[in-house]
Structures are given as structure tokens and as C-alpha cells.
Amino acid sequence: MPLVAGRYFTPEEDNRPVAIVDRQLADEVWPHQSAVGRRLLILRTAGEPTWVDVVGVVNHVQLDGVARDAACPRSS
């Protein structure tokens, strides 16, 4: 997936929490600003919340979810 800002992950970040976000999230959270270099708080259902540094932005990604059967037609 091509980047629109920032960079891809690097091997040096194995122990550093970083993220690449999509443009829609970046625009919603940081309108009219760069998301690169910002931080997001990731909340989990179990365990402690984790701060991650945004290192890159890609175009909007739309996912149907992991439980969805790929052969099933999309409902309107």
C-alpha cells in the first residue's frame, strides 16, 4: 500500500510501538495537520492501554472485518 506521508516500518522498531494509519483516521483525529509524529492511545479489552507513535499515513482502507466470508455478497 503506497504511503501518502511519512514512512514504512523499519526493523529497528521491533521494541517500539509505532503505527501507520489511514488518511481518514488522520483527517478525523488531526484535521488540517500532519499525523506523522503524533501519538495515538490504543485501548484494549484486556491489558494496559498503549501509546503508539504514528510514522506513516496511507490512503483510506476499508475492511469488512475478519469474521466476514469473502464469498458472501455485501448487503446494502
User: Each residue of 2-13: pLDDT tens digit?
Assistant: 999 999 999 888
pLDDT of residue 76: 42
User: Each residue of 47-62: pLDDT tens digit?
Assistant: 899 999 999 999 987 7
Q: Where are the domains of the chain?
A: 3-58
- pTM, rounded to two decimals: 0.75
Tell which residue, 30, 28, 52, 48, has the closest CA to residue 40: 52
